[in-house]
Amino acid sequence: MTSDQQTTNTDYDYLIKFLSLGDSGVGKTSFLFQYTDGKFDGKFITTVGIDFREKRVNYRPPGQDTQSGRAQRVHLQLWDTAGQERFRSLTTAFFRDAMGFLLVFDLTNEQSFLNVRNWISQIWSSNYSGQLQLHSYCENPDIVLCGNKCDLENLRCITVDRAKDFADKNGLQYFETSAATGQNVDKAVEALLDAVMKRMEKVVDKSSFPARTPVTDNGNATTKVSENEKHDNSDCAC
Ligand code: GTP
Ligand code: MG
CA distance 140 to 138: 5
Ligand nearest to the CA of 23: 1
Q: Is the pLDDT of residue 199 over 60?
A: yes
The pTM for the full model equals 0.83
42 lines ligand 1 (CB under 6 A): yes
Residue of 210 and 95 predicted with greater confidence: 95
CA distance 213 to 235: 9
CA–CA dist 81, 149 (Å, integer): 18
Provide the domain limits for residue 115.
2-235
The yes-or-no verdict on residue 226 having pLDDT over 50 is: no
CA–centroid distance, residue 10 to ligand 2 (Å): 28
pLDDT > 80? residue 207: no
CB 100 within 8 A of CB 196: yes
- pLDDT at 55 exceeding the cut of 80: yes
Ligand nearest to the CA of 26: 1
pLDDT at 149 over 80: yes
Contact by Cβ (8 Å): 119, 22: yes
- Tally of domains within the chain: 1
The residue with greater pLDDT, 15 or 70, is 15
Average pLDDT over residues 12-29: 96
The answer, yes or no, to whether any atom of ligand 1 lies below 6 A from the CB of 176, is no
pLDDT for residue 37 is more than 60: yes
Average pLDDT over residues 51-79: 87
179 lines ligand 1 (CB under 6 A): yes
The pair phi, psi for residue 140, each rounded to 5°, is -140, 135
Buried b (16+ CB within 10 A) or exposed e, 96-112: ebbbbbbbbbbbbbeeb
Ligand 1 atom closest to the Cα of residue 104 is: 7
Q: Which of 30-39, 88-97, 144-153 has the lowest mean pLDDT?
A: 88-97
Calculate how far, in angstroms, residue 183's C-alpha sits from the geometric centre of ligand 1: 14
User: Closest by alpha carbon to 166, among 100, 122, 119?
Assistant: 119
CA distance 192 to 236: 18
Which residue, judged by its Cα, is nearest atom 19 of ligand 1?
42
Please tell me the predicted confidence (pLDDT) of residue 109: 98
How far, in Å, is the centroid of ligand 1 from the Cα of 221? 26
Mean pLDDT of 25-38: 98
The pLDDT value recorded for residue 139 is 56
Question: Residue 220: which CATH number?
Answer: 3.40.50.300
What is the residue-averaged pLDDT of the chain? 82
Residues whose CB falls within 8 Å of the CB of residue 83, separated by 6 or more in sequence, listed in order? 21, 22, 23, 24, 25, 26, 28, 46, 47
What are the pLDDT digits (tens) for 101-122?
999 999 999 999 999 999 999 9
Q: How many residues belong to the chain?
A: 238
